[in-house]
Amino acid sequence: MDRTLFESDHNDFRDAVRQFVKRHVEPHYDRWESEGLVDRKLWQLAGESGFLGTAVPVEYGGGGEPDYRYNAVLVEEFARAGAASLSSGFGLHNDVVAPYLLELGTEEQKRRWLPGFCSGELVTAIAMTEPGTGSDLKAVRTTAIRDGDAYVLNGTKTFITNGIHSDLVVVVAKTDPAAGARGISLLAVERGMPGFERGRKLAKAGMRAQDTAELVFTDVRVPAANLLGEEGQGFGYLMRNLPQERLSIAVVAVAAAQAAFGWTAEYCRDRQAFGQRIGSFQNSRFKFAEMATEIEIAQVYLDRAIRELNAGTLTPVDAAKLKWWTTELMKRTTDTCVQLHGGYGYMDEYPISRAWRDARVHTIFGGTTEIMKEIIGRDLGF
């Protein structure tokens, strides 16, 4: 499929990312999968290569290019290399946390955090989910009560991407527990603050190289100077930035589906059964025809959404439609590809095995498929 979305500068950037993947990711990825996180050095290498903070103004050490297409290229190439864990970790840093720092940060905060954000010396995370609270952000129980020139933060967060490596965590907390959604604020918690501890590094079915952890906050005194935006406005900020997060997940989903399709097509052209190539059976041809069609349709919709994000017109409802459709496609495609591989599809020596495991969580994080449909259904007036 010829994509008109990208221009020559984006293609040059893609070539640089591919070289980075070949040199710094592929030789180590199996080890990262077994260890449950990537080498911290990878973040610094990514910073040196100009892959972090592309949207951050040059005066803070960034690329000075707010064009989301660069972000899309980065996570696409990780996903196409079978490294969806990196798409998630780096995507969260660039696509999710960066907008909060850029849009809500004071000048002092930007000068304090953004240079390290762009160099890879400062890894970021966002802490929303709690052991008893998933998609319902209004129900968070973590509290941050003002005490003089600080907020006293207490609570536990789980499923936090970049949780172990993170140096700066945007924490969703109730500064006014009695005010519901109007009592939610965002606090930037820094590594080393007394009372801020890492819990378990979580073992997962897939995305095993993704650094995922529990975070525990016990009477952490967070300076009031670390409040992002205005007190009590956190829920609105979260709703405003969720479309970009969901778009980022969709970019990974479509790229991963394309990669799975490619690996499986190659396998089925070479592998024989009953005296003929697996791909030549009518059932196989039909499956490939279905996957090729669905992936191309998803790509067109995704590229339109990227244009809309750049133009500032991507709505939460359209992002919800995109997120649930592409992630369900990713799950469906990788499952079909495992089936076409037969028993070998279940073996880790083939990349489709990892892709199949990695796909499953994408219909859950960033808002479950069911929550996406609820958003869409309400917009339809039901």
From first to last of its 382 residues, what are the pLDDT tens digits of the chain? 678 999 999 999 999 999 999 999 999 999 999 999 999 999 999 999 999 999 999 999 999 999 999 999 999 999 999 999 999 999 999 999 999 999 999 999 999 999 999 999 999 999 999 998 766 777 899 999 999 999 999 999 999 999 999 999 999 999 999 998 899 999 999 999 999 999 989 999 999 999 999 999 999 999 999 999 999 999 999 999 999 999 999 999 999 999 999 999 999 998 888 888 888 899 999 999 999 999 999 999 999 999 999 999 999 999 999 999 999 999 999 999 999 999 999 999 999 999 999 999 999 999 999 999 999 999 999 9
Q: Which of 321, 298, 309 is nearest to 376 (CA)?
A: 321
CA angle 76, 82, 83 (to 5 degrees): 75
The domain over range 235-379 is classified in CATH as 1.10.10.10:
no
Strand partners, 35: none
Kindly compute the dihedral angle of the four CA atoms of residues 94, 244, 295, 374, in this order, to the nearest 10 degrees: 140
Strand partners, 168: 124, 190
338 contact partners, CB below 8 Å, separation of at least 6: 345, 346, 352, 353, 356
In whole angstroms, what is the distance from residue 304 CA to residue 341 CA?
33
Pairing of strands 168-174, 124-127: parallel
CA angle 282, 3, 249 (to 5 degrees): 85
28 contact partners, CB below 8 Å, separation of at least 6: 38, 39, 42
pLDDT in tens, 202-225: 999 999 999 999 999 999 999 999
In whole angstroms, what is the distance from residue 2 CA to residue 6 CA?
10
Specify the CATH superfamily of domain 8-122.
Acyl-CoA dehydrogenase/oxidase, N-terminal domain (1.10.540.10)
pTM for the model stands at 0.95
Contact 276, 283 (CB under 8 A): no
What Cα–Cα distance (Å) separates residue 355 from each residue in 205, 246, 256, 278?
A: 11, 19, 7, 21
| Whole-number pLDDT of residue 152 | 98
In whole angstroms, what is the distance from residue 280 CA to residue 218 CA?
61
Q: Side-chain half-sphere of 336: how many Cα atoms within 13 Å?
A: 24
| Whole-number pLDDT of residue 136 | 74
Strand partners, 144: 153
Asked whether the CA dihedral 225, 229, 234, 239 is positive or negative, the reply is negative
Q: Provide the annotated active-site residues.
A: 245
Instruction: Find the DSSP H helices in 201-281.
Output: 234-270
The architecture in CATH of the region 125-232 reads Beta Barrel (2.40)
378 contact partners, CB below 8 Å, separation of at least 6: none
| Whole-number pLDDT of residue 275 | 81
Segments making up each domain of the chain, as ranges: 8-122, 125-232, 235-379
DSSP state of 21: I
pLDDT in tens, 15-50: 999 999 999 999 999 999 999 999 999 999 999 999
| Whole-number pLDDT of residue 203 | 93
Burial class (CB in 10 A: 0-12, 13-18, 19+), 149: exposed
Contact 322, 247 (CB under 8 A): yes
What Cα–Cα distance (Å) separates residue 105 from each residue in 5, 230, 243, 278?
A: 31, 10, 20, 56
20 contact partners, CB below 8 Å, separation of at least 6: 45, 46, 49, 51
Which uninterrupted H or E stretch holds 8?
helix 8-20
